[in-house]
């Protein structure tokens, strides 16, 4: 403990005084809590946490230090970090540096030694809100005087809100890159399928899970056009997780509709799921305090089985759970949709499946990292979907539904225009 | 799927007597199961031989059988009750083994009983070490390399292949019984020999040593549609090599990354599926190599286990309760999470606090035993604590152990030089003191020539993260000790890292009270957080609290007046589950009129189940911690008072200070408690009442001791005053022995004071009463009336601790006149002392004089036994009396019988026998032989059983069957008794020969028998050695050629021969009789055994006779 004071100020005026963790200075963002007891390194490097101050409910964080294998991206994304008892000395045969060192090196302002449970209960009751962490220079004004609380509060209330924020562009890759399959079929090199993954804040474990299954993944930046996607002749398209308000992602929704119109098999995770919801014409809304943790029970309504899953979402899709519905998007051009997965804790929509199109998505994280592997099977479902997508398949038809485009065959897809 | 409709009655099997490795946790799981199944509208039939349990209380099942848990008895119960199903997964290894036996014998099939919760096939897969290896491989994981052996030759061959050290593990045993680590062939022969013996399949596994690896446990649950959740991860602070039951453990796991943790989780789930535990809980243990991360699966228990109880208390996820629901057809997502009320049980708890469990040992009672911790469990109890960080939880857990020398200290100089050099190798050997030795070594960190964390890690294999935390505690302590004055932030920091007021006082050289006053004046107080299973993600409805030094408290205001019940802390010999029984009963009795609040720190118990009392505080039972809870509760509503007399000596000893601090004590006031415990005061009480007591005196030096001894004459009984369970109590026959005893006491005092001293804590010296019949009385007194709960006549004569002696209720050789005297004396004592509530008195009857041995103004060990034997809820009544009710009122309201009491039972009332169960076979001397089994005034039993039937012989026979499988009905008996006993053996031994036993005897005994016309064969004592290869008695016993051994120790000193005979008998697992009174009882029991199989009867049926008191004696 370096004994330097840090102050956490919440939008509603509640403050907590603790000690500096990582860098000193000031930071603002939306404050959220995560109940995962393991996986802090994955959490810190998950782009979905961009612009968020993360509170860890588990008191001891940093015990196993930071290692080379576990990061989910190339940098730490959280806007600030709140831990009760950060480890003084990490202990793990894989650790290369301590949590505090990593935070300091990447300039992440954090706070420790506060009652994180009191804070969590407060956020649970009042809902997530904006907050700021201030220490060192962050606590003094231009003339070197200690800033009064009102000052700090003003900084917080002046900061942007999460609703309406379009953040994908801030976290996505600059240049496309390709993740090769780890194992092909018997022959060896040949991938079982080629996927274009639109990076809206993708975690490195996602292409890895596909690669494990013999899939080649082209990761492309947000803002990629449907032509650019088709140029890569994908068997399927994937939309990743990511930060921000899905309502703001106008371009990505258009891109996704282009994919659906061409009946290209689609799989979306988290933000990608919310975008499928919007593309289909459903609304999205902000949860009071969201789902963030690795212990969340989700019911797969097809198999009636419960899977324990990793969650990190503040928004959710507003779709009818009790019955299958025709996707509202202009007069139901995408046919019927069913809610495939539901959160057992609070009944939130956790998965969508199109009944007349090769498209599905989940709100949670089958790629885990951090978290349990119960939902692995979804990557296999995606691969099956692509397999059947490549073979000529007639459109599902029912009263009044006629597909907007003619069924797309393997040949067409391979000969996609450039 | 909702619950199965094809099941309407279930037989639940309990775990029998408390033994090491199988303790109160199975009363907790069994009680939960009974509650749940009845709530589901099922008829619950229960069998358990242990009367001290809460589950065997008639109100928890529809038919409660306190009968031996043997295949034929359980079959008799099945035949009588015709249950649809049998649930064996909540009664530990005992229940599981019985269930397999019944299944294999075709009993279940014959009676159309379905085994639920687990199936025999999966039990085999999990418990048969070889089969389990296959399972693990099929799951793509690995076990330690191993080879199976059924004979000593196979053992040696396998060891040669695996290399030393090699681990020996028997199949189908529990608590690591018979297992161990062999570093060379002689050790291997010894360990494997007992291993083969204790394995019901004479099978041991020899295994590659993975000593020093990180050890983890996962608690999993699975339902019949294959949903699986991991309830809790537990990390052992002591690395592999120390049994998990003996390790300091922490939840959640703290030194694994998510990747490593998920790997364990994946393996765990794959294994539970492959083994095929279709519904219920199981426990899987892993070892993780600290440098490579290689994972090895150690074992799986396909049932609710000791760790399940710990995991349930650690997370708030009630494993046993949910296992019972799953067993009757529910799925996890259909079961609500009680704590949130709003979410389902199909989730994995998230903790925002740290849980630490510390084991409690009893080596001091087995001085001959080797105190090294190994793969065989040796602890007798455990304490758990919760805190908002590891140091806070650890400090609380250690002080919960409630035993001298069990907390970190900073007395004496920082170890250096020779001292340090000596400490380092000693911490390489795990013992109960290791953690404190480690802390001492770590005091030297950073000093010239000091050790560093790497050295300690190298010596112990304890993960550096934990060592670092202990160093942190030392650092904080250092600041506290050296700070010019106690700054508020420093004090706050000390509390935040788990230092008690007492420790701070020690560091500052001031009194604990001063520390508390300063601390409270500065407003540095603990807050109380809630165990909510979800790290505050959802609101909790269940007030299950723990203290922490943090900002926000969660104690809710209340309007109803509260009564706080203090539990008994970690189980130990002399203070066990019986006290939890009384505490839980108090809560049950009081909750209609009061908000009941429980404070306890024992994770095994029913009292620490969050739905036993209205509010639960999982806290150490120390003055500091209890006072903080009281004050926190007082701040939110009225508190009527605190009950200290039901939890044994631990809460009782807090009474005086609590009262001084303004806490209202309910029931017997502290002054009265003192009147009973202070010999001087108590002596006057007896004088005034004209009651004789053995002559006695107290002494603090050898001179005083000798003069007292000479005044009252040898033999004398010496002990430190204020002890429970006869701690340090010895019968002394000579000046020499006395000097030796005082010498040892001085040594003890020196250690305690960590410096030389001539003074010892006061010794109590009593005239030892020879050939006395001991009577134990439990009574209830309200200031006017006495309710005599019951009078127990001990089988063994006075001199054998009441806790170790078998006893019978109602007495079978005591006259009505004598009983009347017992009643009068008890009442006189109750009045004289000023008891309000329960009182336990021990009398010794010698040639018509009724001596008072001692009075305990509290619930006794025997309260549950008496309650069950007489069908009257004594502890409930006591709680109500403490809360102000009179016995007359209780008689009127039906809590107590309208007329008569336990001293006036009808002649048709059943006879109940209590037998003690002793742990000797778990303790080995350094040479590897069993420790001696002679009973004495110091209590050594871990548990008890009850045999109940229409007459004494049958009841006694049942008690023996329940305690150790039973007496032989024929075969060979070996008799060798001390001279003073020779007179008494003629008749019983004659009966044995009449019943067809062959009698072997040592020379002297044989001569006496011969002159009395009883034929016997003389066998050589071990000391006489083998003449022309002929076997000695020890050889015969070891060879299993003797079916029962009768050996009474010659009163005095060295007992070499007896020792060898007794230990050989224990090793051979044959019944041993060490007093002539036992022999007489045993002979009667054998007669009744030969008369035919046991008849079984439920307590509910017995209650009928008991209620009818018309024909009172
Ligand atoms: N191969 C081994 N080498 C060293 N220690 C071991 C080995 N296997 C088990 N142990 C230790 O022995 C203890 C008891 O083993 P376990 O299989 O759990 O028996 P039990 O059924 O008594 O729990 C374990 O907790 C572990 O610390
Ligand atoms: N004066 C005595 N003469 C013979 N035996 C005694 C005497 N005092 C105690 N004992 C024996 O020692 C045992 C333990 O003594 P007790 O006073 O009951 O200690 P505790 O407080 O441990 O129960 C008693 O159960 C009794 O068998
Ligand atoms: Mg084990
Ligand atoms: Mg006693």
pLDDT tens for B541-552 read 999 999 999 999
Closest residue CA from atom 21 of ligand 2: B724
| Structure tokens given for A368 | 């885990």
Task: Give the pLDDT confidence of B489-516 residue by residue, as tens digits.
Answer: 999 999 999 999 999 999 999 999 999 9
Q: Is B53 helix (H, G, I), strand (E, B) or coil?
A: coil
Q: How confident is the model at residue A390 (pLDDT cuts 50, 70, 90)?
A: low
**Measuring CA to CA, which residue among A98, A321, A305 is closest to residue B223?**
A305
Beta pairing class for A15-22 and A109-112? antiparallel
* A-chain residues near B351 (CB < 8 A): 37, 58
Atom 13 in ligand 2: residue holding the nearest Cα: B801
Place of tokens 């009963």: B585
- As a whole number of angstroms, the distance between CA B96 and CA A287 comes to 48
Active site residue A190: no
Kindly state the percentage of chain B with pLDDT values over 90: 78
Residues with CB under 6 A from ligand 2: B 694, 717, 723-726, 766-769, 772, 774, 798-802, 842, 844, 853-854, 937
pLDDT of residue B996: 95
Please, which pLDDT band fits residue B756 given cuts at 50, 70 and 90? Answer: low
Give the model's pLDDT for residue B726.
60
The alpha carbon of A288 is separated from its chain's Cα centroid by a whole number of angstroms, namely 17
Residue B936 Cα to ligand 4 midpoint, Å, equals 12
Q: How far is the CA of B712 from the centre of ligand 4 (A)?
A: 21
What local confidence, expressed as pLDDT, does residue A413 receive?
35
Interface test with A, best of B223, B333, B345, B352 (most A CBs within 10 A): B352
For the residues of B119-147, what is the DSSP string, one character each? -HHHHHHHHSHHHHHHHHHHTT-EE--EE
Tokens of B932: 């001696």
**How confident is residue A410, by pLDDT bands cut at 50, 70 and 90?**
very low
Q: How far is CA B212 from CA B461, B560, B705, B941, in A?
A: 5, 53, 49, 33
Burial class (CB in 10 A: 0-12, 13-18, 19+), A260: buried
Tens of pLDDT along A190-225?
Answer: 899 999 999 999 999 999 999 999 999 999 999 999
A392, pLDDT greater than 50: no
What distances in angstroms separate CA B300 from CA B123, B219, B254, B290, one per listed residue? 10, 10, 21, 21
Query: Which residue reads 């099997």 in tokens?
Result: B13
The contacts of residue B5 (CB under 8 Å, 6+ apart) are none
CA A267 vs CA A259, A366, A379, B1112: distances in Å: 11, 11, 9, 83
Q: Is B373 in the pocket of ligand 1 (CB under 6 A)?
A: no
Take residue A120 and report the two structure tokens written for it. Answer: 């969590």
**Contact assessment for residue A416 and residue A234, using Cβ atoms and an 8 Å cutoff:** no
Pocket test for ligand 1, best of B244, B297, B379 (most atoms within 8 A of CB): B244
The pair of three-digit structure tokens given for residue B794, joined into one six-digit string: 């001990």
Give yes or no for a contact between A303 and B333, defined as CB atoms under 8 angstroms apart. no
Q: Which residue of A has its CA nearest to B222?
A: A306
Beginning with the edge strand found earlier in the chain, give each strand of the sheet holding B639-643 in spatial order: B527-530, B544-548, B615-618, B595-600, B562-566, B639-643
Backbone angles phi, psi at B871, to 5 degrees: 70, 30
Kindly report, residue by residue over B36-52, the tens digit of the pLDDT. Answer: 999 999 999 999 999 99
Burial of A80 (0-12, 13-18, 19+ CB in 10 A): buried
Q: Model confidence over B881-929: pLDDT tens digits? A: 999 999 999 999 999 999 999 999 888 899 999 999 988 878 877 766 7
Question: Could A87 and B292 be called an inter-chain contact, meaning their C-beta atoms sit closer than 8 Å?
Answer: no
Q: Residue B551's pLDDT is what? A: 97
**Residue B952: left (phi > 0), alpha (psi -120 to 50), or beta?**
alpha
Out of A270, A291, A307, A341, which one is annotated catalytic? A270
In the annotation, is A354 catalytic? Answer: no
DSSP class of B1023: G
Can you give the pLDDT at residue A402?
A: 40
- The yes-or-no verdict on residue B227 having pLDDT over 90 is yes
Cβ neighbours of residue A176 closer than 8 Å, sequence gap 6 or more: A218, A219, A220, A221, A224
Q: Is A367 one of the annotated active-site residues of the chain?
A: yes
Cβ distance B305 to B90 under 8 Å? no
Q: What ipTM, to 2 d.p.?
A: 0.93
| Token reading at A80 | 């600030």
DSSP B681: H
What would the pLDDT profile of B842-863 be if each residue is shown by its tens digit?
999 998 899 999 999 999 999 9
CA of B764 to the centre of ligand 2 (A): 11
Rounded Cα distance between A30 and A157, Å, is: 11
At B1017 the three-state DSSP class reads strand
| Predicted TM-score of the model (pTM) | 0.94
Cβ proximity of B709 and B735 under 8 Å: yes
Of B957, B675, B1045, B718, the residue nearest B829 (C-alpha): B675
The answer to which of A249-253, A400-404, B519-523, B698-702 has the lowest mean pLDDT is A400-404
Strand order in the sheet with B166-170: B146-149, B204-208, B166-170, B180-182
| Residue B876 contacts residue B586 (beta carbons within 8 Å) | yes
Ligand 1 pocket, residue B210 CB under 6 Å = yes
Q: How far apart are CA B174 and CA B376, in angstroms?
A: 9
Of B728 and B896, which is predicted with more confidence?
A: B896
Please give, rounded to a whole number of angstroms, the shortest distance from the CA of A35 to a CA of chain B: 6
Peptide bond into B715 cis (omega under 30): yes
Provide the pLDDT confidence category of residue B170 given band limits of 50, 70 and 90. Answer: confident
Tokens representing residue B334 in the block = 């259909």
Task: Determine, for residues A121 and B552 on separate chains, whether the beta-carbon distance falls below 8 Å.
Answer: yes
pLDDT for the residue B276: 93
The contacts of residue B927 (CB under 8 Å, 6+ apart) are none
**pLDDT given at position B567:** 98
Q: Which two tokens stand for residue A24?
A: 């000193």
Confidence of residue A401 (pLDDT cuts 50, 70, 90): very low
Contact B104, B115 (CB under 8 A): no
- Quick check: A47 and A171 in contact, CB under 8 A? yes
Lowest mean pLDDT among A84-88, A371-375, A401-405, B474-478: A401-405
User: Residue A187: what pLDDT?
Assistant: 43
Q: Which residue has the higher pLDDT, B392 or B174?
A: B392
Is the CB–ligand 1 distance for residue B375 below 6 Å?
yes
B14-34 confidence digits (pLDDT tens): 999 999 889 899 999 999 999
Give pLDDT, residue B645.
95
Give the distance from residue B265's alpha carbon to the nearest chain A alpha carbon, in angstroms. 8
3-state secondary structure chain A: CCCCEEEEEECCCCEEEEEEEEECCEEEEEEEEECCCCCHHHHHCCHHHECEEEEECCCEECCCCECCCCCCCCCCCECEEEECEECCCCCCCCCCECHHHHHHHCCCEEEECCCHHHHHHHHHHHCCEEEEEEEHHHHECCCCCECCHHHHHHHHHHCCCCCCCCCHHHHCCCCCEEECCCCCCCCCCCCCEEEEEEECCCCCHHHHHHHHCCEEEEEEECCCCHHHHHHCCCCEEEECCCCCCHHHCHHHHHHHHHHHHCCCCEEEECHHHHHHHHHCCCEEEEEEEEEEEEEEEEEECCCCEEEEEEEEEEEEEECCCCCCEECCHHHHCCCEEEEEEEECCCCCEEEEEECCCCEEEECCCCCCCCCCCCCCHHHHHHHHHHHHHHCCCCCCCCCCCCCCCCCCCHHHHHCCCC
Whether A124 and B537 lie within 8 Å, measured CB to CB: yes
Q: Are strands B9-13 and B85-87 parallel, antiparallel or unpaired?
A: parallel
Per-residue pLDDT at A418 exceeds 50 = no
Query: Within B139-184, where are the H helices?
Result: 152-162
In the predicted model, is pLDDT for residue B840 greater than 70?
yes
**Taking the CB of residue B3, how many other CB atoms lie within 10 A of it?**
16
Question: Residue B581 CB: number of other CB atoms within 10 A?
Answer: 33
pLDDT for B723:
58
CA atoms within 13 A on the CB side of A26: 19
Q: How far is it, in rounded angstroms, from Cα B197 to Cα B511?
A: 55
Q: What is the pLDDT of residue B659?
A: 97
Query: Which residues of chain B does A69 touch, with a Cβ-Cβ cutoff of 8 Å?
Result: 259
Which residues, by Cβ under 5 Å, contact ligand 4, an ion?
B 802, 842
Confidence category of residue B1027, pLDDT binned at 50, 70, 90: low
Q: What is the pLDDT of residue B128?
A: 84
- Digit-coded pLDDT (tens) for A316-357: 999 999 899 999 998 999 999 999 999 999 999 999 999 999
For residue B1081, give Cα distances in angstroms to B794, B1058, B1071: 11, 21, 13
CA separation for the pair B1022, B972 (Å, rounded):
18
Average pLDDT over residues B240-261: 97
Question: Average model confidence (pLDDT) for chain A?
Answer: 91
Q: How many other CB atoms are found less than 10 A from the CB of residue B140?
A: 9
Q: Name the E strands within B26-112.
A: 43-47, 63-65, 85-87
pLDDT at residue B1028 greater than cutoff 70: no
B516: closest CA among B592, B628, B405? B628
Strands (E), B1039-1104: 1044-1047, 1072-1073
- Inter-residue contact B376 to A322 (CB < 8 Å): no
Using a CB-CB distance cutoff of 8 angstroms, which residues of chain B are in contact with residue A296? 347
Looking at residue A404, its pLDDT comes to: 41
Span B213-220, average pLDDT? 98
Q: What is the pLDDT of residues B787-801, one digit of tens each?
A: 999 999 999 888 889
A59 and B352 within 8 Å at the Cβ level: the answer is yes
pLDDT of residue B181: 87
Model pLDDT, residue B753: 59
Q: What is the DSSP letter of B331?
A: -
Q: CB-CB: which of A39, A90, A306 is closest to B258?
A: A39
pLDDT in tens, B359-371: 999 998 888 899 9
Number of Cα atoms under 13 Å in the Cβ half of residue A328: 10
Q: Do A192 and A380 contact (CB within 8 A), yes or no?
A: no
For B860, residues 6+ apart whose C-beta sits below 8 A from its C-beta are: B578, B776, B778, B838, B840
Q: Which of B211-220, B334-343, B814-823, B1014-1023 has the lowest mean pLDDT?
A: B1014-1023
């Amino acid at each position: 403990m370096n004994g330097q004071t840090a102050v956490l100020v919440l939008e509603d005026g509640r403050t907590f005084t603790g000690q500096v963790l990582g860098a000193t200075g000031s930071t603002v963002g939306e404050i959220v809590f995560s109940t995962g007891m393991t996986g802090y390194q994955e959490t810190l490097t998950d782009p979905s946490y961009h612009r968020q101050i993360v509170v860890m409910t588990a008191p001891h964080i940093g015990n196993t230090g930071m290692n080379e294998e576990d990061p989910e991206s190339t940098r730490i994304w959280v806007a600030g970090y709140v831990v009760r008892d950060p480890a003084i000395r990490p202990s793990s045969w894989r650790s290369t540096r301590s949590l505090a060192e990593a935070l300091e090196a990447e300039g992440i302002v954090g706070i420790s030694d506060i009652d994180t449970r009191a804070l969590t209960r407060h956020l649970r009751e009042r809902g997530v809100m904006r907050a700021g962490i201030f220490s060192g220079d962050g606590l003094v004004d231009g003339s070197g005087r200690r800033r009064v609380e009102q000052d700090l509060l003003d900084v917080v209330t002046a900061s942007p809100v999460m609703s309406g924020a379009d953040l994908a562009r801030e976290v996505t890759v600059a240049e496309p890159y390709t993740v090769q399959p780890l194992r092909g079929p018997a022959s060896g090199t040949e991938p079982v399928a080629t996927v274009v993954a639109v990076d809206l804040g993708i975690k490195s474990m996602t292409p890895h899970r596909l690669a494990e299954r013999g899939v080649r993944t082209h990761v492309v930046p947000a803002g990629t056009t449907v032509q650019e996607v088709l140029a890569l002749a994908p068997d399927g398209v994937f939309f990743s997780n990511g930060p921000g308000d899905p309502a703001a992602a106008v371009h990505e929704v258009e891109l996704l509709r282009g994919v659906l119109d061409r009946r290209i098999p689609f799989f979306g995770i988290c933000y990608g799921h919310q975008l499928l919801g919007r593309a289909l014409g459903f609304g999205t809304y902000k949860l009071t305090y969201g789902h963030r943790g690795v212990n969340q029970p989700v019911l797969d309504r097809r198999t009636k089985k419960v899977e324990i899953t990793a969650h990190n979402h503040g928004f959710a899709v507003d779709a009818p759970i009790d019955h299958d519905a025709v996707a509202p998007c202009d007069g139901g051009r995408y046919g019927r949709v069913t809610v495939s997965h539901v959160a057992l804790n609070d009944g939130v929509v956790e998965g969508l499946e199109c009944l007349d199109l090769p498209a599905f998505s989940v709100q949670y994280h089958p790629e885990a990292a951090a978290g349990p592997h119960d939902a692995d099977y979804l990557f296999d479902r995606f691969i099956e979907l692509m397999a059947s997508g490549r073979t000529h398949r007639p459109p599902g038809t029912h009263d009044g539904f006629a597909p907007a485009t003619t069924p797309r065959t393997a040949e067409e897809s391979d000969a996609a225009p450039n | 799927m909702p619950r199965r409709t094809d099941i309407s009655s279930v037989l639940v099997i309990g775990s029998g007597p408390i033994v090491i490795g199988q303790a109160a946790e199975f009363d907790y799981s069994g009680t939960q199961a009974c509650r749940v199944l009845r709530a589901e509208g099922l008829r619950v039939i229960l069998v358990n031989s242990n009367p001290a349990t809460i589950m065997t209380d008639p109100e928890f099942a529809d038919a409660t059988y306190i009968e031996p848990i043997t295949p034929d008895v359980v079959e008799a119960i099945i035949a009588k009750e015709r249950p649809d199903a049998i649930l064996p997964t909540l009664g530990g290894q005992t229940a599981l083994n019985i269930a397999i036996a019944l299944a294999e014998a075709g009993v279940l099939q014959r009676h159309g009983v379905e085994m639920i919760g687990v199936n025999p096939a999966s039990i085999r897969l999990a418990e048969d070490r070889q089969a389990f290896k296959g399972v693990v491989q099929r799951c793509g994981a690995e076990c330690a390399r191993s080879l199976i052996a059924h004979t000593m030759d196979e053992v040696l061959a396998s060891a040669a292949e695996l290399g030393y050290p090699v681990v020996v593990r028997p199949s189908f045993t529990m608590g690591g019984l018979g297992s161990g680590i062999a570093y060379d062939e002689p050790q291997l022969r010894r360990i494997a020999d007992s291993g083969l013996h204790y394995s019901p399949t004479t099978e041991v596994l020899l295994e590659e040593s993975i000593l020093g690896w990180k050890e983890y446990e996962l608690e999993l649950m699975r339902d019949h549609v294959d949903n699986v959740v991991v309830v809790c991860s537990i990390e052992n602070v002591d690395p592999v090599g120390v049994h998990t039951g003996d390790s300091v453990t922490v939840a959640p796991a703290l030194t694994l990354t998510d990747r490593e943790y998920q790997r364990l989780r994946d393996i765990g789930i794959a294994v539970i599926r492959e083994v095929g535990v279709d519904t219920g809980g199981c426990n899987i243990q892993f070892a993780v190599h600290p440098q490579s991360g290689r994972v090895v699966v150690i074992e799986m228990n396909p049932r609710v286990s000791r760790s399940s109880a710990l995991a349930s208390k650690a997370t708030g996820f009630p494993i046993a309760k949910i296992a019972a629901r799953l067993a009757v057809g529910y799925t996890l997502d259909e079961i609500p999470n009680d704590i949130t009320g709003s979410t389902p049980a199909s989730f994995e708890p998230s903790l925002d606090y740290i849980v630490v469990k510390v084991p409690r040992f009893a080596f001091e009672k087995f001085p001959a035993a080797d105190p090294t911790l190994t793969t065989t469990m040796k602890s007798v109890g455990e304490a758990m604590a919760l805190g908002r960080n590891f140091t806070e939880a650890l400090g609380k857990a250690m002080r919960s152990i409630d035993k001298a020398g069990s907390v970190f200290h900073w007395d004496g100089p920082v170890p250096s030089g020779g001292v340090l050099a000596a400490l380092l190798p000693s911490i390489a050997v795990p013992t109960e003191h290791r953690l404190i030795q480690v802390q001492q070594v770590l005091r030297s960190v950073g000093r010239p020539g000091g050790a560093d964390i790497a050295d300690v890690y190298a010596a112990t294999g304890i993960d550096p993260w934990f060592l670092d935390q202990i160093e942190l505690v030392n650092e904080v302590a250092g600041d506290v000790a050296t700070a010019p004055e106690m700054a508020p932030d420093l004090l706050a920091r000390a509390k935040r890292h788990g230092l008690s007021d007492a420790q701070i006082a020690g560091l500052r050289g001031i009194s604990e009270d001063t520390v508390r006053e300063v601390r409270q004046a500065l407003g540095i107080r603990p807050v109380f957080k809630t165990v909510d299973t979800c790290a505050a993600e959802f609101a909790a409805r269940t007030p299950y609290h723990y203290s922490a030094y943090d900002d926000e408290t969660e104690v809710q205001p209340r309007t109803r007046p509260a009564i706080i019940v203090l539990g008994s802390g970690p189980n130990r010999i002399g203070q066990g589950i019986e006290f939890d029984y009384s505490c839980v009963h108090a809560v049950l009795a009081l909750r209609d009129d009061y908000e009941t609040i429980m404070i306890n720190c024992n994770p095994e118990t029913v009292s620490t189940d969050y739905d036993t009392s209205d509010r639960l505080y999982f806290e150490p039972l120390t003055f500091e911690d209890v006072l903080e809870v009281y004050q926190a509760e007082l701040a939110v509503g009225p508190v009527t008072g605190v009950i200290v007399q039901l939890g044994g000596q631990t809460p009782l000893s807090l009474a005086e200070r609590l009262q001084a601090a303004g806490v209202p004590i309910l029931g017997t006031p502290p002054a009265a408690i003192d009147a009973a415990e202070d010999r001087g005061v108590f002596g006057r009480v007896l004088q005034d009442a004209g009651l004789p007591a053995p002559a006695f005196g107290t002494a603090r030096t050898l001179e005083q001791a000798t003069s007292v001894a000479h005044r009252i004459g040898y033999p004398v009984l010496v002990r430190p005053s204020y002890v429970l369970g006869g701690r340090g109590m010895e019968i002394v026959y000579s000046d020499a022995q006395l000097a030796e005893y005082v010498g040892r006491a001085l040594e003890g005092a020196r250690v305690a004071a960590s410096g030389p001293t001539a003074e010892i804590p006061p010794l109590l010296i009593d005239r030892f009463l020879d050939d006395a019949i001991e009577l134990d009385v439990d009574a209830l007194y309200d200031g006017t009336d006495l309710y005599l709960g019951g009078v127990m006549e001990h089988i063994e004569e006075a001199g054998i601790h009441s806790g170790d002696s078998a006893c019978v209720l109602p007495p079978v050789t005591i006259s009505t006149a004598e009983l009347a005297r017992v009643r009068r004396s008890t009442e006189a004592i109750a009045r004289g002392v000023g008891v309000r509530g329960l009182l336990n008195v021990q009398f010794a009857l010698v040639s018509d004089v009724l001596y008072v041995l001692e009075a305990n103004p509290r619930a006794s060990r025997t309260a549950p036994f008496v309650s069950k034997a007489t069908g009257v809820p004594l502890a409930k009544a006591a709680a109500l009396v403490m809360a102000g009710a009179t016995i007359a009122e209780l008689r009127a309201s039906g809590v107590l019988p309208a007329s008569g009491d336990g001293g006036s039972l009808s002649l048709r009332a059943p006879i109940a026998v209590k037998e003690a169960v002793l742990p000797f076979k778990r303790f080995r001397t350094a040479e590897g032989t069993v420790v001696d089994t002679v009973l004495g005034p110091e209590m050594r039993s871990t548990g008890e059983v009850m045999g109940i039937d229409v007459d004494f012989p049958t009841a006694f026979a049942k008690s023996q069957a329940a305690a150790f499988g039973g007496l032989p009905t024929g075969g060979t008996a070996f008799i060798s008794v001390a001279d003073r006993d020779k007179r008494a053996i003629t008749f019983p031994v004659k009966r044995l020969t009449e019943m067809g036993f062959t009698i072997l005897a040592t020379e002297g005994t044989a001569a006496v028998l011969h002159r009395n016309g009883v034929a016997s064969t003389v066998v050589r004592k071990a000391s006489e050695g083998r003449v022309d290869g002929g076997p000695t008695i020890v050889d015969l016993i070891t060879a299993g050629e003797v079916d029962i051994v009768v050996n009474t120790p010659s009163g005095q000193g060295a007992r070499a021969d007896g020792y060898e005979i007794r230990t050989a008998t224990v090793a051979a697992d044959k019944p041993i009789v060490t007093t002539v009174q036992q022999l007489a009882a045993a002979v009667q029991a054998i007669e009744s055994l030969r008369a035919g199989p046991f008849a079984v009867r439920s307590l509910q049926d017995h209650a009928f006779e008991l209620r009818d008191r018309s024909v009172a004696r």
